[in-house]
Amino acid sequence: ARREQVAAWSGPGATADGVPVKLVANVADTESAATAGAEPVEGVGLFRTELCFLNRADEPGVEEQAAIYAEVLRPFTGQVVVVRTLDAGSDKPVAFATQVGEENPALGVRGLRLSFDNPALLVRQLDAIRLAADRTGAEVQVMAPMVATVAEAAGFAGLVRERGLRAGVMIEVPAAALLAHRMLEVVDFLSIGTNDLTQYTMAADRMATDLAHLTDPWQPAVLQLIAITAHAGRQAGKPVGVCGEAAADPLLACALVGMGITSLSMAPAAVRAVGARLAGVSAETCEEVAEAVLGATDPAAARAAALLVVERRG
């Protein structure tokens, strides 16, 4: 029966009692953008721009970047597309941006930190994003990866807004989650990257298969930080999304919505299962699921608690 519900669900995202939850796609290139455009998504919650440049030795000029971004934006005319500025470094090395020879690249000069010494790199990318937005009619918003301080968020937001675009930051570092309410004073939205937030909260490399029991977004400590961030969003009346792998887990999605998350961004192939699951639970049930998982002390207990509420309440 669940498989039929998944096949039948055709969007837009909402709980059984009609509370909207934006279901959006993670994309990286023209191909994934086309795949996403064919699914019942309301836009893009994460365009990973660094993946366009993994095999480029030199930085493309503003014009060339604009053309690359426009190809990805094209299926989404009139829809929101959140473009992430270069998240180069660590697991995503980009030849023209990444620092070489770092001892500990995951804790090094990656993401927004690349622009501390090289602001022109970010400025050129923002100019290209603005051009691509104008050419496609997508409603582009821009967010920065690997933000740790409010000052970083404010500096970034200033540059984005100078170009007439809405600005957000990713919550991937526990320091940023703990200060989500202050981040929201300087940006228009937040997007939680649960892959890195889990890695940095649990001090466990996201690529280490031996540590998979730690790099689990159902870890209660990670869920607490997500809840803090979502609560700050509700208080500020600003959107807070999730764009890491956690958003693609239908049961976890119920907990996230119950915490106050307003959008879930995921691989296009995951959207129908998440949409169908949310369509079968009320907002009140989601809140009960959130409360249940936040009371658990390990991932297995959190999952079991969530399942119990969903099966009892529907």
Residues binding Mg ion (CB under 5 A) = 172, 193, 196
The CB-of-146 to ligand PEP minimum distance in angstroms stands at 8
Angle (nearest 5°) at CA 295 between 290 and 299: 85
User: Among residues 59 and 196, whose Cβ is nearest to Mg ion?
Assistant: 196
The CB-of-82 to Mg ion minimum distance in angstroms stands at 13
- Of residues 159 through 188, those in contact with ligand PEP by CB under 6 A are 172
Residue 139 CA, distance from chain mean position: 17
The CB-of-206 to ligand PEP minimum distance in angstroms stands at 8
Distance CA 54, CA 38 (A): 26
Of 168, 126, 152, the C-alpha closest to 262 is: 168
User: Among residues 5 and 149, whose Cβ is nearest to ligand PEP?
Assistant: 149
Distance CA 91, CA 289 (A): 33
Structure tokens at 209: 């298969």
Q: Give 40-65 as a 3 state SS string.
A: CCCEEEEEEHHHHHCCCCCCCCHHHH
User: Among residues 194 and 201, whose Cβ is nearest to ligand PEP?
Assistant: 194
The CB-of-247 to ligand PEP minimum distance in angstroms stands at 9
Distance CA 167, CA 2 (A): 38
Provide the mask over 236-275, with x wherever binding to ligand PEP is found by CB under 6 A and - wherever it is not.
-------xx-------------------------------
Region of 177-185, 192-200, 252-260, 275-283 interacting with ligand PEP (CB under 6 A): 192-200
Q: Judged by CB under 6 A, does residue 35 bind ligand PEP? A: no
User: Among residues 45 and 275, whose Cβ is nearest to ligand PEP?
Assistant: 45
Could you give the C-alpha distances from 18 to 21, 162, 270, 271, 279, in angstroms and in order? 9, 36, 21, 17, 8
Among 193, 258, 260, 299, binds ligand PEP (CB under 6 A): 193
Provide the mask over 94-133, with x wherever binding to ligand PEP is found by CB under 6 A and - wherever it is not.
----------------------------------------
Could you give the C-alpha distances from 160 to 37, 127, 250, in angstroms and in order? 26, 9, 33
Residue 89: how many CA atoms within 13 Å on its side-chain side?
Answer: 25
Among 195, 231, 280, 291, binds ligand PEP (CB under 6 A): 195
Region of 95-103, 191-199, 223-231, 301-309 interacting with ligand PEP (CB under 6 A): 191-199
Among 152, 196, 216, 249, binds ligand PEP (CB under 6 A): 196
Of 126, 130, 138, the C-alpha closest to 25 is: 138
Angle (nearest 5°) at CA 127 between 122 and 130: 125
User: Among residues 165 and 171, whose Cβ is nearest to Mg ion?
Assistant: 171
The CB-of-313 to ligand PEP minimum distance in angstroms stands at 29
Neighbours of 277 (CB within 10 A): 21
Q: Return the sign of the alpha-carbon dihedral for residues 16, 17, 21, 24.
A: positive
Structure tokens at 174: 């526990």
Among 9, 13, 48, 53, binds ligand PEP (CB under 6 A): 48
User: Among residues 27 and 292, whose Cβ is nearest to ligand PEP?
Assistant: 27
The CB-of-285 to Mg ion minimum distance in angstroms stands at 30
Binding positions for ligand PEP, rule: CB under 6 A: 46, 48, 87, 172, 193-196, 243-244
